[in-house]
Structure 1
Amino acid sequence: MEVHKSEKKLVAMAKVLKAVANQNRLRIVQLLLNEGEMTVNEICEKLENCEQSLLSHHLAALKEAGVVCSRRDGRKIYYSPAKKEIENLLNCLENCCD
């Protein structure tokens, strides 16, 4: 039984790593960590060469992996990091690349 739990955890970890294994998605996550909760339009304004449809695709992939979460307020959807530990992951990756 314990092996099965470990396997589930490994699958979840791989899913997170796959979701952030893209420089645009890393930029999005870093922006949300720095700025806090933002809408798609606000994120698009901050990123260069932003196409809203592609940004929405990236956000959906990040949300599916549990990296970001969203909440609706009227017609707007706000995105934010799902867990504070995501910042630790990005810091670790940055340190590995020095």
Structure 2
Amino acid sequence: MKVMEVQKSDEKLAKMAKILKAVANHNRLRIVQLLLKTGEMTVNEICEELENCEQSLLSHHLAALKEAAVLSSRREGRKIYYSSAKKEIENLMNCIENCCK
């Protein structure tokens, strides 16, 4: 196992904290898990999969995850498709899940 450097640059630590803060929400974790499973979905498709979904709140969660570079999006006509931004996000989710065993 690779040991992380004890001292990281403030910029790197800020980016790490931003990602953790973005996923530190039950609904956002569900969104990330769903997109890792399916690959890519529109807002409406995500809303259909999630229980008690309010589209305005979902859009807020998606924006926060995108701003933290957890998710990426692409536009096709009037639809916006969301997906995981990086392969490492799946590793992060697996790590968090393993911590909960």
Establish whether TM, by shorter chain, passes 0.5.
yes
> Which residue pairs with 1:6 in the alignment?
9
- Residue 98 of structure 2 is aligned to residue 95 of structure 1: yes
- The structure where helix makes up a greater share of residues is 1
Could you tell me how far apart the structure 1 residues matched to 2:23 and 2:59 are?
15
Q: How many residues align?
A: 94
Structure 2: runs of 5+ lacking an equivalent: 1-7
TM-align CA RMSD: 0.8
**Structure 2 counterpart of 1:62, one-letter code:** L
- How far off is 1:18 after superposition? 0.1
Structure 1: runs of 5+ lacking an equivalent: none
- Residue 80 of structure 2 is aligned to residue 83 of structure 1: no
**Structure 2 counterpart of 1:65, one-letter code:** A
- How far off is 1:36 after superposition? 0.8
Question: Residues 13-46 of structure 1: CA distance to partner in whole angstroms, max 9, x if unpaired?
Answer: 0000000000100000000000111000000001
